[in-house]
Amino acid sequence: MICEDSLEGIFTGIYDAYLKRKPHAQVHLCVGQEDNYRLFAVYEQCSPKEEKAVKVARTIGRELGEEAYMAICRALASPEPDKGEAVYKMVVAGLSMKNKKGVMGNLKDPFIRRVFELARFTANEAHYHVEFLRFKELENGILYAQMGPKNNVITFIVPHFADRLPLENFVIHDILREIYALHPAGKDWYLVTGDGKEKPGQALVYSQEEQKYGELFTHFFHTIAIKERGNYGLQRNMLPLRYRKYMTEFQ
């Protein structure tokens, strides 16, 4: 089965896989195009259907519990090609267990473990962005932040900032996927997908204050370190290099 790379697409894929009524070991789910074709396999395209996806989501939530559902959502935010297969087989394994709600504890099962790993990576990266995301104030007072995460974490981090900065207008921009999260002051936030044609980077004009506070923080960042304890290795472990290009204090 080949399905679309989205929550809806993969849930539809799981629904259709169950419809086949074949042993689950013989059905595989892959996301987008598979680059290495399997021998003796029949490939079937499946297009996302909302009602099918909703049914699968409801079943997962009811049978496997909130914990497993969140883990699946996180795992599906990953860019790895085997995520669809892992989630599908995990649902199969979970539904056959006696204690269905405890499915995430069964790390002996390779598929459940894979989902656990993918979900952990997404959760960790989401947390990194909660830590390291940097807003810059534009001329019109809007806070604007850029990021380039490996996993599609934007939906996991915006609620945090919406709760934190309720009275601010802010935009979080995933520059790899061209997704914008917009939060108007005092209202709910929403997502917008850009068409990738405009290059907003050139049009951005920062406010007068922005440079001042950026410099103040960079200065603070340097004076707060104790020279005698210098430890760049530890710094690199805690703050991976790939996040630094978006961070004020490293620019």
Partner 1 sequence: MAFELQDTKMSVADTKISLADTKISLIENKMSLMEKLGILSDAAKYDVSCSSSGVGRKGDGTGIGNTLKAGICHSFGADGRCISLLKILFTNECIYDCKYCINRRSNDVPRASFTPDEICELTIQFYRRNYIEGLFLSSGILYSPDYTMELIYEAVYKLRTVYRFQGYVHVKAIPGAAPELVHRLGLLADRMSVNLELPTAEGLRSLAPNKHRKNILTPMRQIQQGITQNKNEITLYRHAPSFVPAGQSTQMIVGATPESDYQIMMVAENLYRKFDLKRVYYSAFVSVNEDKDLPALPGGPPLLREHRLYQADWLLRFYGFEAQELLSQEKPNFNVLLDPKADWALRHLEQFPVEINRADYRTILRVPGIGVKSAQRIVRARRSGSLNFDDLKKIGVTLKRALYFITCGGRMMYPTKMEEDYITRNLIGEKEKLPFDRDGMTYQQLSLFDDNQEPMWRQAINS
Interface residues with partner 1 (CB under 8 A) are 97, 99, 102, 105-108, 113, 130-137, 143, 145, 160-161, 163-168, 186, 209, 213-217, 219-239, 247-249
**Residue 235 Cα distances to 94, 126, 231, 232, 244, angstroms:** 40, 19, 6, 5, 11
- When the beta carbons of 47 and 124 are compared against partner 1, the nearer one is 124
Nearest distance from residue 102's CB to partner 1, in Å?
Answer: 7
Nearest distance from residue 132's CB to partner 1, in Å?
Answer: 7
Dist. CA 151–CA 180, nearest whole Å: 15
Nearest distance from residue 139's CB to partner 1, in Å?
Answer: 15
Dist. CA 34–CA 172, nearest whole Å: 32
Host H or E run for residue 84: helix 83-96
Helices (H), 133-207: 154-164, 200-203
Nearest distance from residue 157's CB to partner 1, in Å?
Answer: 11
β-sheet bridge partners, residue 31? 3
